[in-house]
Structure 1
C-alpha cells in the first residue's frame, strides 16, 4: 500500500502569525520548543508560528518543506509511573529559511513586527566568536555572527528587540551569546547606539533544557507509518518527560505561556540549583554507572536498572551522596530522582553505556567532582559510590579492561604517560591536567581507590558494588 506523504491536508489548527525565529531544525528543537508551541496553540494561549532558520549550509529544511513543514512527534516512555505512547502532528512551522541560499530572506525576518522570540540550539560549539567573521560574508560563519547581522537590521528599522532564549547546553548560555554579539558589534564597528539597543531592547536568557530525544525511530518507522496512515520522513521520537528552566524576568511566563498550558516551564531568578540538580541527579548517576557496570559486563542503562545490585547502588547514590549536596527542597529533589529512575528504565530507549563513556574524564570532572567535593565538605568523609566510579575509570584508562577508553587524544596521551609512573594511582589522582586540581588533597582517597582497585582484581566489579550496598 502506498501511503500519502504528510502534507497540509492533515492540518487541524489554523496558521498563526509568525512569532518565533528558531535557529536550528534538528530533532531536539522540534521535539522541545516546537512541541511546546503546539501545546500552547491548541489551547489558544500563544497563537504563534515559527520561522526556522537553517544555521549551517547542510540541514533538513528542504525535507520539512517537502511535507509542508509538518512532522510527527512520538512520545514514548514512563511518566509518573505510567507508560506513555502517543504521537502528534506538529503544525507550527510557518517558514523555513536557508541563509546560505537566500541571505535577503533571512534579513527580511527583521521586518516582521509579530516576531518576539528567538530560540536556538546550534550545539555547544555553536555559541562562539570568530574574529575572522566579516559583516559582508553573507552569511557569516557562526550563529552569534548571523544573529548580530539580524539584530543590526532590526535596529536600523527602528523596531523593538527580542526575547532571546538559547537552548545550547552550556552554562550561562544567554550571557555567552550576548557577549559574542557585542564582540561582533565591536569587530564590525556597528556603533555605540547599536550596542546600547542590544543591551536595552533585548532580553538574553540563560536556560536549562532537559528532554531525551533519540530522534528518528529508524527501526520502527515503517510500522508506525502504516499505523498512522501517512509517510513522514521527519518524525522525531522523544521521552514524555521534559523541563524547561529559564533564568530571567517573570514577564516571560505571560509572553510564553507554557506554564499556563500545563507544561513544565520554570522561570526563576537563579537557575543554578536546577542545573546542579540535573547535572548531579541525571548526568551524575550515568557517569557513575557507566564504568562500573561495563566492568561487570552490563551494556545499557536499562539493564543497569533491571539488575537488583546495580539498581540499589544507583538509588543509594542518588539519595545518600547526591541529594544532600544540592540546594533545593528535599521533596523536590526526591520527586526528580524518582522521575530520573523512570527515565533510566524507559523500555523504548536503548541507551548504551559505551555512548555515555565517551570523554569520561571531562564528564567526571564536570558531573561528579563537584558533588564529590560538596559531599566531603558537608560530611568530612568520602562518598563511596562516586569514589568507586573513579577507581573504575582509572582502571579502564590504565588499559586494565576488556574494552578501550574513548576520549580525546590529549587525555589518552596523558594516561599513556601516567601508567609508566611507579605509583600510577597517586600520579593519576594528582594530575591537575585531568581534574583541574590535585585529588590527593582529599584525605584517604588514594587508599580508598587502591582498596577498590584491589577488589576489582580479586572479586570483580559486581562484588565491589555488593560490598558497598551491604553497608
Structure 2
C-alpha cells in the first residue's frame, strides 16, 4: 500500500500525537493515507518497536488526565502505520518511498536532531538526520521533482525555517547542484509547526501514555498539505501567539513552581501535582496568572486565548495520572527563567509584573 506520509522518528511523542491523529482521521477519510515510519538511528533496542508499530492490529495509546473538569482514562488503537523501516537496514526501500510515494514528511528527531558533523556525507548513509534527509530529497529530485510538504516537529522556534536554511546550506556546500537547490527552495514546503502534548510514559514494545490536551499548530503557506483533518490540528496564519501561550503560560508555570520548590527546600521527589495540593502555592500561581500573565497577553489582544489556556494548563498540572518531577523541571533553571519569564517581561514592557520580576532578580 502506498504511504503518502513518511515519519522520521519512532518516539513515544509521535505515537501519541501525529500517529494517533492520522489514525483517527483515516477512519473518517480525512487523511491522505497511512504512514511509513523511519528509524533514523541504529539503536538496536528499537528493533522490536519497529515490528510492533506496523502490526495490523495497531498499538495502544492510553489517554489519562482531566479535561473540562472530567477525569479521562481511555485506550485507543493506532492503526495508521503501514510500514516501519530503519535507515540502517532498509535504505534503498526508504529512498524509493521518498522518491515515488511521499507527499508529506514529518520529523521529530530530538534535541540534537539538526546537528551535522563535518564528515557526515562521507558514508553512503550519513550519520545525521539532516545528512540523511538531504540524500533522500536528492533522490526525489532526480526521480520526479514533485513538490513535497515537510512538517518538522522538533522543539525549535520556527522549525521549518531553521531546517530549510540548514538544508539549503548543506546542499550548497556539499552538492553544488543549482537546480536541486532551486527545487529545495521553491518546490518543497518547509512548514513551521508547534506541538503541545505531554506524553509521560512509553508502552512496550510500542505505544504510550499521554494527557488529553493536544495541539499541532501548523503555519499556513502556499502549497502546504495537511497530514489530516483533526480537531487537534490547527492551520494558522501566525504561530507566534501559540508559541507565546505555551512558553509564557505552561512553561512559565512550571518554572514558577520549580522556583518555589527550590526556594523552600521541599521534598526532593516533589511533583507538579503534589506542590499544587498546597493551597498557598496554588493561590500564588493563580495570582501570577491572573494579575501578571493574562494582562500581558491582554495588552497584545490575546486575553481570552490566555485565560482559556491558563484554565487548560491548571487542569494539566493537576493530572492525577502524571508524576511530573520538579527536579526534572528545575534542570537548567536560570536559562529557563530567561526564556520563559524574562522574555515575557520584555514582550510586554508596559505591564507591571512584580512577582515575576522578583523571580528574575533572585
Q: TM-score normalized by structure 1?
A: 0.71
| Cα contact 2:21–2:228 (8 A) shared by 1 | no
Change (3 A) 1:67 1:94: closer
Distance in 2 between residues matched to 1:50 and 1:332, nearest whole Å: 33
- The alpha-carbon deviation at position 275 of structure 1 amounts to 0.3
Partner of 1:121: 108
Distance in 1 between residues matched to 2:187 and 2:347, nearest whole Å: 39
Q: Does 1:349 align with 2:322?
A: yes
- The alpha-carbon deviation at position 388 of structure 1 amounts to 3.7
Partner of 1:35: 20
For structure 1, the residue ranges without an aligned partner over 5 or more in a row are 1-15, 218-231, 395-471
Q: Secondary structure at the match of 1:378?
A: coil
Q: Which has the higher contact order (CA 8 A, sep 6+)?
A: 2
Distance in 2 between residues matched to 1:175 and 1:272, nearest whole Å: 14
- The alpha-carbon deviation at position 111 of structure 1 amounts to 3.3
Partner of 2:60: 72
Alignment match of 2:85 (pick from 93, 97, 102):
97
Distance in 2 between residues matched to 1:313 and 1:184, nearest whole Å: 49
| Cα contact 1:249–1:268 (8 A) shared by 2 | no
Cα deviation per residue 1:402-454 (whole Å; 9 max; x = unaligned)?
A: xxxxxxxxxxxxxxxxxxxxxxxxxxxxxxxxxxxxxxxxxxxxxxxxxxxxx
Distance in 1 between residues matched to 2:235 and 2:187, nearest whole Å: 20
Change (3 A) 1:27 1:116: same
User: Any residues of structure 2 matched to 1:294-333 within 5 Å, and which?
Assistant: 294-296=262-264, 297=266, 299-326=270-297, 327-333=300-306
Distance in 2 between residues matched to 1:385 and 1:151, nearest whole Å: 50
Change (3 A) 1:68 1:204: closer
- The alpha-carbon deviation at position 119 of structure 1 amounts to 0.4
- The alpha-carbon deviation at position 47 of structure 1 amounts to 5.0
Q: Does 1:107 align with 2:95?
A: yes
Partner of 2:221: 249
| Cα contact 1:128–1:180 (8 A) shared by 2 | no
Cα deviation per residue 1:354-378 (whole Å; 9 max; x = unaligned)?
A: 1100011111111111112344x21
Distance in 2 between residues matched to 1:165 and 1:68, nearest whole Å: 21
Cα deviation per residue 1:114-173 (whole Å; 9 max; x = unaligned)?
A: x21100001122123433221x51211221111111110000012412110000001111
| Cα contact 1:40–1:47 (8 A) shared by 2 | no
Q: TM-score normalized by structure 2?
A: 0.92
Partner of 2:174: 188
Q: Secondary structure at the match of 1:18?
A: coil
Partner of 1:389: 359
Cα deviation per residue 1:178-206 (whole Å; 9 max; x = unaligned)?
A: 11111121122241100111112110011
Q: Which 4+ stretches in 1 moved above 4 angstroms? A: none
Partner of 1:227: none
| Cα contact 2:194–2:216 (8 A) shared by 1 | yes
Larger Rg: 1
Distance in 2 between residues matched to 1:286 and 1:372, nearest whole Å: 17
**As a proportion of its length, which structure holds more strand?**
2
Count of matched residue positions in the alignment of Structure 1 and Structure 2:
354
User: Any residues of structure 2 matched to 1:68-467 within 5 Å, and which?
Assistant: 68-69=54-55, 70-113=58-101, 115-134=102-121, 136-216=122-202, 233-249=205-221, 252=224, 255-258=226-229, 261=230, 263-296=231-264, 297=266, 299-326=270-297, 327-375=300-348, 377-379=349-351, 381=352, 383-390=353-360, 394=362
RMSD: 1.9
| Cα contact 1:23–1:53 (8 A) shared by 2 | yes
| Cα contact 1:247–1:267 (8 A) shared by 2 | yes
Distance in 1 between residues matched to 2:217 and 2:24, nearest whole Å: 17
- The alpha-carbon deviation at position 44 of structure 1 amounts to 1.6
- The alpha-carbon deviation at position 211 of structure 1 amounts to 0.1
- The alpha-carbon deviation at position 305 of structure 1 amounts to 2.0
Cα deviation per residue 1:89-136 (whole Å; 9 max; x = unaligned)?
A: 1111111121122321221222333x21100001122123433221x5
* Range 340-349 or range 136-145, more displaced: 136-145
Q: Secondary structure at the match of 1:105?
A: helix
Q: Secondary structure at the match of 1:86?
A: strand
- The alpha-carbon deviation at position 256 of structure 1 amounts to 3.2
| Cα contact 1:207–1:271 (8 A) shared by 2 | yes
Q: Secondary structure at the match of 2:198?
A: coil
Cα deviation per residue 1:15-56 (whole Å; 9 max; x = unaligned)?
A: x63111101001011111101101101212115111111111
Distance in 2 between residues matched to 1:273 and 1:337, nearest whole Å: 14
Partner of 1:436: none
Q: Secondary structure at the match of 1:119?
A: strand
